[in-house]
Structure 1
Amino acid sequence: MTNQNHTADLPMPGAGPLMQSVPVLSIARSLTNQRKHFDPAKLQELADSIKATGVLQPILIRPLPVDRIKDEMAWARAEKREPAQYELVCGERRWRASQLAEVPEIPAVIRPLSDAQALKAQVIENLQRADITELEEAEGYEKLMESQSINADQLGAEVGKSRSYIYGRLKLLDLCEKAREALRTGDIDYSKGLLIARIPDESLQLKALAYCVQKNYAGDPIGYRACAEHVQQNYMLKLSSALFKITDAELLPRAGSCKECPKRTGAQADLYHDVASADVCTDPKCYHDKEEAHAIAIKRAAVERGQTIIEGREAKALMPNSWSSEVKGYLRLDDRNDSPTDKPLRKLIGKAMERRGIQPTLVANPHKDGQLVAVLTSDQVETLLKDADNEEVAAKVKADAERDAEAKVRQEEAAAKTKYEEQWRWDLLTSTWQQICNGTHETPSDAVLRLIASNYAKGYSQDRAKKLCKLLDLGKVAPQAGLLQYIAETDAPGDVLQLLIMYGDVEYRYWMCEDKANEGLLLVAQDFGVDAKTVKAKTRANQRAVEATKKQAEAKKAAQSTQSTDPLKPQKSSSTPTPAAQAQKVRGGKKKIQVDEKPKLSAEAAQAAIAEAMQAAEAQSPADAAEARDAGQGDIPGAAAAAQDDDAQAVADAQPATLTASEEAVPASSTEPPADMPAAGGERIPVGSQVTIIRVALEPSLAKWGGRTGNIYRDLGEKGYEVAMPNPKSGPKKFVKFATNQVQKEADV
């Protein structure tokens, strides 16, 4: 029941309080009562109790204030009732329940109270309720502070609450409306609500709220500790880690100094008692704005000093790892990890840099806004260390740079070996597939072969299936679904099955014995007469040819350069620039990006490079080269042809050519057969025979096959023949129907 002790001490003007039973309908509801939510079920329970035993404790009312009489008279006339004579101060729940119980009168204490006295009595009475919510309590405190013009400390003394208690409740008033509603409905409790209320930005409050209302794996609400860690990690920032000076009030004038900011945890210690440090920013947006302002100021100062700034994609390439500030190709001046001693490089060479007027390059960290990393090249550091009389340290820097260069060479060699090992296996698979397409052989029933092939394909991921779809020239399809559809529709499921057997065993497995690493690939290749050693030799020759062309271009470029021998002077060269030379010069807020053009290479130079690579391959493996020549496969399809092309640049940009059997077995024909060439005679051409398509006898829809060769797949009698034609895109063979006079046996041509 409500405790009336607080209102008993109020100063009573006039004759003092009066106790009597007052008609329920003669009392008007207060306009200032903070309690707005009444549980209907509990209200009905109280009404039932009042109906049985009456109201056991009187309510507090006052004479209706003069400023409400006019409005009350108007409402009474509209509702056709007697106007109310009193205004309810405390006990609204009992008054409402009495109306539900339909009792005519209610016991009341009548006091002549001013508006301020009535409001204070309401707030204090509400605060003493057992079921008051934290948000209602906060709203009551706010109303009391406004009505009495007192601060939080004075309020705490008046209501008997600690300072931290009052500040915690008042902070709930900073919740956005959606978060307040979540607190009212019980989706979050007071402790989580306070965590969210301490975030000053509404959009960030909504993000934090979305996390705090989640359920865990058991369907229970996420605990307070997890929510507190989430808020501190994502919406609070340590000022000790700030790149800017936290006492600088001019960096962002609208924000002022962080030390004086009320959003710093130290400014409200009672509210942030759970945060260990006093220098924590609770406004991430303001913090990041200061970071950006600091970065802009640093960049402007750097431009005025003539420094180079690397940012954007170039910075991302130099600093690819978000967990490290390491800069590829450079040494950081302010990080001891890049120093040969326990002191940062700036401590060792700072004075030497000033004497020589050397300005470090600045790299904008792509993973941390506002951070600019000062760096120099290894050569610059070595020279500056010598200049600073640190010969021993300079030698250590040089040795570290040499070790890094050696490690890079080993890494490149390992990558080249892996590339070769992967490529020759794929070339072997491709060549064998061409032989499968061009040959004839017996296979099990199509239904059995399709079933086996489908089982293979179903185990492929989308990425694995995509490569096969490209080989089979299936176009833009869902990789696995397209592959399964091709297996279901192909006329040669046995061929596809052998392709899948090879594909399942085409990977480069350096950890396995050579005779077991690619057993399926090698067995199928052997069945179709494709020699792995020959393919290896061709793959090696192709890669050597491309590498030789690349090296010749680099040598030519290096020969034309006019680089200075002083590593501290700017380099002017048409060769591949150093990382510093690739930097963007930022002047006046604009980027200037220099892009070197690729050198042109003559056809004679490319041909010479290819010949040199072939000689090297033969010198390294005479047996393999001899086997390749004996098999009639000593040429390098693609690379040699490219060397003879009018556009020599195609050789410089070429990738290693892929070996295909169609390039060996089907010569490109540029001449048409004579117009009077006789058609095939009455004697039928046997199935499997190689034939040439007669160009002059073709209708327009078949014109593209003119002059090409294929194999008779089926004899259609009077209708002609169905011919298996090699796919020009190295995909599966095409089955095309031709009239009898449109094909001619290859031996007769």
Structure 2
Amino acid sequence: MNAPLPPGAVAVTALPVAAIAASPTNPRKHFDATYLAELAESIKSHGVIQPITVRPNPDTHSVKLYEIVVGECRFRAAQLAGLEHIPAFWRELDDKQVLEIQVIENLQRRDVHELEEAAGYRMLMDRHGYSVDDIADKIGKSKGYVYARLKLTALCEAGKDAFFDGKLDASTALLIARIRGDKLQQKAVKDITTGGYNGEPKSVRDTKYYIENAFTISLKQATFKLDDAGLLPAAGSCTDCPLRSGNDPDIFADLDDVDVCTDVKCFEEKQLARRDQLIANAEKHKIPVLRGDDITHDIMRHQYGLYGLNNERYIALDAKCDDDEQGRTYREILGDKAPVSALIEFGTSANNKQIAEVAEPTAIAKALKKAGIETKQEEEDPEELAAREQEDKEREQRQQELSVEEARRATLLEKSKAVLNAGGQLFYEDVLRLLVIGFIEQWFEYFEPETTLMAEFGYQEPEEGDDPDYEALAEQALAAIKAWPLSTLTAFTAALIGNEDLHPGHDWQAEQKAAFLDPLAELLKVDTPTQAAQAQEVGATEPKGKTKTAKKTKAKAGTAATASPNEPAAPAKTELLHAQAWPFPTGARK
């Protein structure tokens, strides 16, 4: 039984394979080699059962007389099978008709890749003026379906390759395609395809969580007005931005919140621009700007967010007013009449600094009273007051301990530099090498090494948007240290001691770094403030002779002589210290 003729087609004709050209507008660009080989074997046995469809080649300069409209897979398989002729329907079609057949009809097949489907829809729109509604009507799908497919065309090349290779599915590819910029997309592809357990791809759930946290941000965190188009003129307002989730619900159908920004870099630039505005305005009106050491504990108990602000000192204008039945912020209630006592710049690191306008409670109370809102005066719970006072005492004590630690480290640095400047060595080479290795291992395990340290090992910073490969850097660092001469080891040790990252940023960090500094203090015989105080206590309670004996015994047990800032270190008198004799825990280090 003969196959029915397509509309406008002539009868089936056997055309020379050599006279047929593939169509440049065919959206299908990837052909499965295994499938083609199997189809070629079938053609050898049974021939081409379903004829291909061709039209006269519009390229009159080509030696190929015909162009394939439908059936490129069969054509390629026929070539593999060695056929000289192939059955074909011959039709007179213009470019628009050809593309409609290739996209609307042919792309509805199950084996068509989503990226090829997307490319076909894009060609219909770009070349022949189709709208999303037109395509949706033609293929019987929703507009959201078409928009989602079209968004896949924004996927970076690395993402497309991973998608074709089966490392990404359509939903994950769409999440990546929504990320702004090729570099960030490339980072996402790498992290998603290799960031799972044992280097496997992340799960769908983990991928969604990763992208939402790394590449989107809630506009509720904005310190600027969302409708302010003049803050960053090149970006315009957030309310009209297509990268705001609520402005493109078809693309961001998986996001429940309409106020999600999907261009984190733009958001950060607006935050900085607003910060500069606030600071300039504060300086103009002589309003103090509190930052760094200005923010004492009685102002902010911690800097993880505005909820750390001590409301007995300052109240944030963007905080909700507890006395307002509508749950508005102080700024929303008071508008331009909101008092500003100071600006506070806070954050746990240089990368997440925020700035807030704050006012003293008395100023807020007066402004609210004028606005017709009476504030409630609540008596503080005595137990809570006592607990807070105790907490303040403990924190003050800890600050004193950290001050002592700072002084000790400053003394260590001075002593170490004095030894080096005088041409001496800090202590024996094997101890020094293992000490530095131990510190580096700890650093890479708990902290991100700063650029200056990375440069010591010839490590190049990755391009913007990529994270350093700390594992590779650690291996590179340890290999270098094991080959360093003594002079390099001693110089690098002094650099580590003086590095700002060795100063305690918080309690846990100070305790961890004592593992590196304590043995150095003992080996250099640094008389720290704590040790000096202990020595005074011993001298006050014991006979002088006994005290001198104790000091002599302690000095004799040392591994390196004490060096003063103006004198070189005397040669050590004891045998080489090995790992088992270290004055600090070795753990599993070798």
TM-score w.r.t. the length of structure 1 is 0.51
Residue 168 of structure 2 corresponds to 188
Residue 362 of structure 1 corresponds to 343
Residue 332 (structure 1) aligned with residue 219 (structure 2)? no
Residue 30 of structure 2, aligned match among 28, 33, 37 = 37
**Structure 1 SS opposite 2:12:** strand
CA distance in 2, matches of 1:280, 1:290: 15
Q: 394-403 or 284-293, which moves further after superposition?
A: 394-403
CA distance in 2, matches of 1:272, 1:106: 47
Shift of 1:209: 1.8
CA distance in 1, matches of 2:36, 2:113: 17
In the alignment of these two chains, the number of paired residues is: 449
> Which structure 2 residues correspond to residues 522-561 of structure 1 after superposition, within 5 A?
538-539=536-537
Residue 284 of structure 1 corresponds to 264
Residue 173 (structure 1) aligned with residue 153 (structure 2)? yes
Unmatched 5+ stretches in structure 1: 73-82, 421-457, 476-507, 509-533, 542-624, 634-658, 667-709, 712-723, 737-749
Residue 371 (structure 1) aligned with residue 352 (structure 2)? no
Could you report, residue by residue, the CA deviation over 1:372-414 in whole angstroms, capped at 9, with x for unpaired residues? 24154x8999999999999994996999999966764565468
Residue 141 (structure 1) aligned with residue 114 (structure 2)? no
Residue 523 of structure 2, aligned match among 436, 448, 472 = 472
CA distance in 2, matches of 1:251, 1:188: 38
Shift of 1:173: 0.6
Shift of 1:364: 1.2
CA distance in 2, matches of 1:267, 1:179: 25
User: Are the aligned partners of 1:26 and 1:84 in contact in 2 as well (CA < 8 Å)?
Assistant: yes
Residue 69 (structure 1) aligned with residue 60 (structure 2)? yes
Residue 204 of structure 1 corresponds to 184
Residue 8 (structure 1) aligned with residue 11 (structure 2)? no
CA distance in 1, matches of 2:84, 2:155: 43
User: Are the aligned partners of 2:339 and 2:359 in contact in 1 as well (CA < 8 Å)?
Assistant: no
Residue 244 of structure 1, aligned match among 195, 220, 224 = 224
Q: Judging changes above 3 Å, is the alpha-carbon distance between structure 1 residues 390 and 266 closer, same or farther for their aligned structure 2 residues?
A: closer
> Which structure 2 residues correspond to residues 565-604 of structure 1 after superposition, within 5 A?
none
Q: Judging changes above 3 Å, is the alpha-carbon distance between structure 1 residues 86 and 735 closer, same or farther for their aligned structure 2 residues?
A: closer
> Which structure 2 residues correspond to residues 418-437 of structure 1 after superposition, within 5 A?
none
Q: Judging changes above 3 Å, is the alpha-carbon distance between structure 1 residues 389 and 51 closer, same or farther for their aligned structure 2 residues?
A: closer
Shift of 1:34: 2.1
CA distance in 1, matches of 2:150, 2:560: 82
Could you report, residue by residue, the CA deviation over 1:489-511 in whole angstroms, capped at 9, with x for unpaired residues? xxxxxxxxxxxxxxxxxxx9xxx
CA distance in 1, matches of 2:282, 2:173: 45
Residue 264 (structure 1) aligned with residue 262 (structure 2)? no
Residue 298 of structure 1 corresponds to 278
**Structure 2 SS opposite 1:331:** coil
Residue 444 of structure 2 corresponds to none
CA distance in 1, matches of 2:398, 2:188: 48
Could you report, residue by residue, the CA deviation over 1:469-528 in whole angstroms, capped at 9, with x for unpaired residues? 4323399xxxxxxxxxxxxxxxxxxxxxxxxxxxxxxxx9xxxxxxxxxxxxxxxxxxxx
For 1:332, give the aligned amino acid. Y
CA distance in 2, matches of 1:29, 1:61: 10
For 1:212, give the aligned amino acid. I
Q: 48-57 or 725-734, which moves further after superposition?
A: 725-734
Q: Judging changes above 3 Å, is the alpha-carbon distance between structure 1 residues 725 and 123 closer, same or farther for their aligned structure 2 residues?
A: closer
For 2:548, give the aligned amino acid. A
Q: Judging changes above 3 Å, is the alpha-carbon distance between structure 1 residues 251 and 58 closer, same or farther for their aligned structure 2 residues?
A: same
Shift of 1:184: 1.4
User: Are the aligned partners of 2:318 and 2:329 in contact in 1 as well (CA < 8 Å)?
Assistant: no
Residue 428 of structure 2 corresponds to none
Residue 21 of structure 2 corresponds to 28
Could you report, residue by residue, the CA deviation over 1:342-380 in whole angstroms, capped at 9, with x for unpaired residues? 9999969x99x98xx98512111234444324154x899
Could you report, residue by residue, the CA deviation over 1:510-556 in whole angstroms, capped at 9, with x for unpaired residues? xxxxxxxxxxxxxxxxxxxxxxxx99693399xxxxxxxxxxxxxxx
Shift of 1:159: 1.8
Q: 130-139 or 195-204, which moves further after superposition?
A: 195-204
TM-score w.r.t. the length of structure 2 is 0.63
Residue 156 (structure 1) aligned with residue 136 (structure 2)? yes
Could you report, residue by residue, the CA deviation over 1:655-688 in whole angstroms, capped at 9, with x for unpaired residues? xxxx97379889xxxxxxxxxxxxxxxxxxxxxx
CA distance in 2, matches of 1:52, 1:84: 27
Residue 661 (structure 1) aligned with residue 545 (structure 2)? no
CA distance in 1, matches of 2:110, 2:376: 78
CA distance in 1, matches of 2:238, 2:533: 69
Shift of 1:182: 1.2
CA distance in 1, matches of 2:364, 2:381: 8
Shift of 1:137: 0.6
CA distance in 2, matches of 1:384, 1:265: 37
What percentage of residue pairs aligned between the two structures are identical?
A: 30
**Structure 2 SS opposite 1:158:** helix
CA distance in 2, matches of 1:153, 1:391: 56
Q: Judging changes above 3 Å, is the alpha-carbon distance between structure 1 residues 662 and 55 closer, same or farther for their aligned structure 2 residues?
A: same
Q: Judging changes above 3 Å, is the alpha-carbon distance between structure 1 residues 540 and 333 closer, same or farther for their aligned structure 2 residues?
A: farther
CA distance in 2, matches of 1:419, 1:363: 25
Residue 214 of structure 2 corresponds to 234
Residue 12 of structure 2 corresponds to 19
User: Are the aligned partners of 2:340 and 2:357 in contact in 1 as well (CA < 8 Å)?
Assistant: no
User: Are the aligned partners of 1:333 and 1:346 in contact in 2 as well (CA < 8 Å)?
Assistant: no
User: Are the aligned partners of 1:725 and 1:733 in contact in 2 as well (CA < 8 Å)?
Assistant: no
**Structure 2 SS opposite 1:364:** strand
Q: Judging changes above 3 Å, is the alpha-carbon distance between structure 1 residues 324 and 103 closer, same or farther for their aligned structure 2 residues?
A: closer
Residue 89 of structure 2, aligned match among 109, 133, 136 = 109
Could you report, residue by residue, the CA deviation over 1:102-132 in whole angstroms, capped at 9, with x for unpaired residues? 2222111111111222222222343033311
Could you report, residue by residue, the CA deviation over 1:536-590 in whole angstroms, capped at 9, with x for unpaired residues? 693399xxxxxxxxxxxxxxxxxxxxxxxxxxxxxxxxxxxxxxxxxxxxxxxxx
Q: Who wins on radius of gyration, i.e. which is larger?
A: 1
User: Are the aligned partners of 1:212 and 1:227 in contact in 2 as well (CA < 8 Å)?
Assistant: yes
CA distance in 2, matches of 1:134, 1:734: 73
Residue 213 of structure 1 corresponds to 193
User: Are the aligned partners of 1:61 and 1:110 in contact in 2 as well (CA < 8 Å)?
Assistant: yes
For 2:523, give the aligned amino acid. L
**Structure 2 SS opposite 1:8:** coil
Residue 48 of structure 2, aligned match among 44, 55, 58 = 55
CA distance in 1, matches of 2:373, 2:88: 96
CA distance in 1, matches of 2:559, 2:57: 105
Residue 131 of structure 1 corresponds to 111
Q: Judging changes above 3 Å, is the alpha-carbon distance between structure 1 residues 51 and 287 closer, same or farther for their aligned structure 2 residues?
A: same
User: Are the aligned partners of 1:662 and 1:726 in contact in 2 as well (CA < 8 Å)?
Assistant: no
CA distance in 2, matches of 1:56, 1:174: 38
Q: Judging changes above 3 Å, is the alpha-carbon distance between structure 1 residues 338 and 131 closer, same or farther for their aligned structure 2 residues?
A: closer
Shift of 1:22: 1.6
Residue 79 of structure 2 corresponds to 99
Shift of 1:94: 1.1
User: Are the aligned partners of 1:64 and 1:85 in contact in 2 as well (CA < 8 Å)?
Assistant: yes
Q: Judging changes above 3 Å, is the alpha-carbon distance between structure 1 residues 146 and 389 closer, same or farther for their aligned structure 2 residues?
A: closer
CA distance in 2, matches of 1:19, 1:107: 6
User: Are the aligned partners of 1:251 and 1:290 in contact in 2 as well (CA < 8 Å)?
Assistant: yes
Q: Judging changes above 3 Å, is the alpha-carbon distance between structure 1 residues 251 and 347 closer, same or farther for their aligned structure 2 residues?
A: closer
**Structure 1 SS opposite 2:87:** strand
Q: Judging changes above 3 Å, is the alpha-carbon distance between structure 1 residues 385 and 417 closer, same or farther for their aligned structure 2 residues?
A: farther
Q: Judging changes above 3 Å, is the alpha-carbon distance between structure 1 residues 150 and 366 closer, same or farther for their aligned structure 2 residues?
A: same
